[in-house]
Structure 1
Amino acid sequence: PYRILTDIVEMLAGLDRVAPGVNSAHTLLYGIEVKFYSNRIMLDRSLGTQIEGLYAVGDGAGITRGLIQASCSGIIAARSVLGKAR
């Protein structure tokens, strides 16, 4: 998304002031990790969205900050799906 791209460009400019040369034509960015902590989705207790059958789990949902929490959110959603299937 545009906002994230502009944030990356601004970050490189800021880093270049601290470590000159970081923001150069020779800088290669790869595997950029983007965290969406501030972008929260409206979820119920089972991490379900307002769309029936759609769950938001992991860091993309904006509620976890690490592998263990993200994994646990998947378990919570899976238990909800299994409970509805019974």
Structure 2
Amino acid sequence: RILDGVIEMIYALDKIAPGTANDDTLLYGVEVKFYNMDVEVDENLETKYKGLYIIGDGSGVTHSLSHASASGVYVAERIIEERS
């Protein structure tokens, strides 16, 4: 199933970047992400345990590096507001 998805992606990419799907194409470090929200958090990414926040990829709500890092900034700002 996963390999079929990778092959499909290569052919789709070949339409945008012709030449991608050829015998000389080498793939390495393929990253596959499956998202599943296992940890319950509120709108501030805080768990039911006061002061325990789940940020970044561990939260299950971010889908990119920039989104993951932004969640850290967001939570830091909420903590600063709370303690001010």
TM-score when normalising by structure 1: 0.56
Aligned to 2:80: 82
> Which 5+ residue runs of structure 1 have no aligned equivalent?
1-10, 16-30
Aligned to 1:65: 63
Secondary structure of the residue that 1:56 maps to in structure 2? coil
* Aligned equivalent of 2:6: none
Measured at CA, do residues 39 and 84 of structure 1 come closer, stay the same or move farther in structure 2, by a change above 3 Å? same
SS in structure 2 at match of 1:71? helix
In our comparison, the structure showing a higher alpha carbon Rg is 2
Gaps of 5+ in 2: 4-28
Q: Give the alignment's Cα RMSD to 1 decimal.
A: 2.3
Write the deviation string for residues 6-51 of structure 1: whole angstroms up to 9, x where unpaired.
xxxxx8xx86xxxxxxxxxxxxxxx9x7846113321111111111
Q: Deviations over 1:25-82 (max 9, x none)?
A: xxxxxx9x78461133211111111111000000111001111000111011111110
Select 2:41's aligned residue among 20, 40, 43: 43
Contact 1:47 1:56 in 2 (8 A): yes
Whether the aligned pair in 2 keeps the contact of 1:36 and 1:60 (CA below 8 Å) is no
Structure number with the bigger relative contact order (C-alpha 8 A, sep ≥ 6) is 1
CA 1:50/1:35 → structure 2, altered by over 3 Å: closer, same or farther? Answer: farther
Q: Give the structure-2-normalised TM-score.
A: 0.57
Size of the aligned set, in residue pairs, is 58
